[in-house]
């Protein structure tokens, strides 16, 4: 363990951990981070999880998590019903997000459990709402991303009436985020960029950076050569930024690539493909896999990984994982800026369809250059994104939030 020596005052604490989804198994972006946080915390502390269960798999995962020593209290969540219930909030000044992720049952569980906990840790601002009334307890707000800024980006890329809805959500959610940020003990961000934006908009509020990492043992380069012309993208495929990026790549970039590399093909790997994504499968050279047990199976076949996201904040796990696998990555600035690497050395960055296509073509036509870029990317994440390295600040954070020695008392 790389956390460093303990102080004489170190003691275990009991942590109430809130997340939008059951934090296990680590098979999507937010679950990767929440599971890693809990796994790191539970080495020396007691963790109690409160989360929404989005399906039966989540409920099963909650049982597995409990069997692993992390009591998980999971509450069923139905996306469509939750969104419909939130619509009356349009007549108020309250953000829709707090209606979509509102739950009297979950609030009651938090109110009951927090009495026996030393501190509370909320992952995503919507979960921080359940802790607002508990001002006497040290509270950490971990912004997985700046959600209000995400809605701002959505408002700029959509037409009326959704642009109005997104703009309203940006404004109302920011006011909530500001209130929480100033009231909580600490605010955590995944990248220095997001912390900088936060400090510009909410000056004086406490903050620190706790970056995402990547499992370097699990994501290792394949000894087998890739399939020539194979381009891959991974992500949850009903998430709007992923949908937008893949539609853009398949319709505007891939045709340009195939003019120079006729055999080039694009594979979209990820669960819950939206109708717009499913429709892409009708384009020559495009494959939509839907859910797969192991994304590495497809990424190991790829010659190039792409991250054509036009809306993004935080660290993109898809970029870290591709780099860890030794894959050359071509992405946009929004997709790569959170990784803190050096463009042209660790990955390629292109903003327009023509430039993006040229970068992909050059890598497909020059396997030696592609392999070297992949090796540099792997070396970079080995040095900067090992989970043990990025979580070094976590111990100090937890110690700074101690309230009382509840574990010792019990």
Handedness of CA 272, 274, 278, 283 (dihedral sign): negative
What is the value of pTM for the model shown? 0.88
Superfamily of structural domain 14-213+387-403: Glycogen Phosphorylase B; (3.40.50.2000)
In this predicted structure, the answer to whether residue 408 has a pLDDT above a threshold of 50 is: no
Residue 125: band (very low, low, confident or very high) from pLDDT cuts 50, 70, 90: very high
Tell me, what's the pLDDT at 5?
46
In this predicted structure, the answer to whether residue 8 has a pLDDT above a threshold of 90 is: no
Domains 14-213+387-403 and 230-384 share a fold: yes
Once rounded to an integer, what is the mean pLDDT over residues 312-330?
A: 93
Residue 9: band (very low, low, confident or very high) from pLDDT cuts 50, 70, 90: low
Once rounded to an integer, what is the mean pLDDT over residues 325-337?
A: 96
Residue 134 or 8, more confident:
134
Mean pLDDT in the chain? 93
pLDDT per position as a tens digit, 280-313: 999 999 999 999 999 999 999 999 999 999 998 7
In this predicted structure, the answer to whether residue 3 has a pLDDT above a threshold of 50 is: no
In this predicted structure, the answer to whether residue 28 has a pLDDT above a threshold of 80 is: yes
Tell me, what's the pLDDT at 258?
98
**Range 259-288 burial, b when 16+ CB lie within 10 A, else e:** eebeebbbbbbbeebbeebeebeeeebbeb
Residue 173: band (very low, low, confident or very high) from pLDDT cuts 50, 70, 90: very high
Domain ranges of the chain: 14-213+387-403, 230-384
Tell me, what's the pLDDT at 399?
87
Superfamily of structural domain 230-384: Glycogen Phosphorylase B; (3.40.50.2000)
């Amino acid at each position: 363990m790389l956390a460093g020596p303990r102080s004489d005052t170190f003691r275990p604490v009991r942590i109430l951990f809130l997340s939008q989804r059951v934090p296990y198994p680590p098979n999507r972006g937010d679950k990767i981070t929440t599971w890693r946080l809990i796994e790191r915390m539970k080495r020396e502390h007691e963790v109690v999880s409160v989360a929404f269960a989005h399906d039966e798999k989540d409920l099963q995962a909650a049982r597995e998590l409990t069997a692993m020593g992390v009591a998980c209290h999971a509450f069923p969540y139905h996306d469509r019903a939750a969104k419909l219930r939130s619509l009356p909030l349009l007549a108020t000044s309250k953000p829709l997000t707090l209606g979509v992720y509102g739950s009297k049952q979950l609030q009651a569980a938090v109110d009951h459990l927090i009495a026996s906990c030393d501190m509370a840790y909320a992952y995503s601002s919507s979960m921080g709402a359940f802790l607002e009334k508990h001002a006497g307890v040290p509270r950490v707000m971990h912004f997985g991303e700046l959600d209000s800024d995400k809605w701002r980006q959505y408002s700029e890329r959509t037409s009326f009436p959704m642009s109005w809805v997104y703009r309203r959500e940006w404004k109302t959610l920011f006011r909530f985020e500001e209130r929480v940020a100033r009231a909580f003990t600490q605010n955590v961000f995944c990248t220095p960029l997001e912390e900088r934006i936060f400090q510009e908009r909410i000056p004086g509020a406490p903050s620190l950076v706790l970056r995402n990492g990547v499992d370097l043992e699990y994501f290792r380069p394949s000894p087998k050569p890739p399939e020539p012309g194979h381009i891959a993208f991974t992500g949850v495929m009903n998430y709007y930024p992923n949908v937008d990026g893949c539609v853009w790549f398949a319709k505007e970039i891939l045709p340009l690539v195939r003019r120079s590399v006729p055999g080039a093909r694009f594979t979209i790997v990820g669960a819950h493909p939206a109708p717009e994504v499913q429709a892409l499968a009708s384009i020559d050279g495009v494959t939509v896999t839907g859910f797969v047990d192991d994304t590495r199976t497809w990424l190991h076949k790829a010659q190039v990984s792409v991250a054509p996201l036009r809306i993004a904040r935080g660290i993109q796990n898809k970029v870290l994982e591709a780099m860890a696998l030794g894959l050359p990555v071509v992405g946009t600035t929004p997709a790569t800026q959170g990784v803190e690497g050096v463009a042209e050395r660790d990955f390629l960055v292109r903003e327009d369809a023509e430039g993006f296509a040229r970068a992909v073509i050059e890598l497909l036509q020059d396997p030696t250059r592609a392999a070297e870029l992949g090796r540099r990317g792997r070396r970079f994440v080995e040095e900067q994104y090992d989970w043990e390295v990025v979580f070094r600040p976590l111990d100090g954070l937890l110690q700074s939030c101690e309230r009382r020695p509840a574990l010792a008392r019990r």
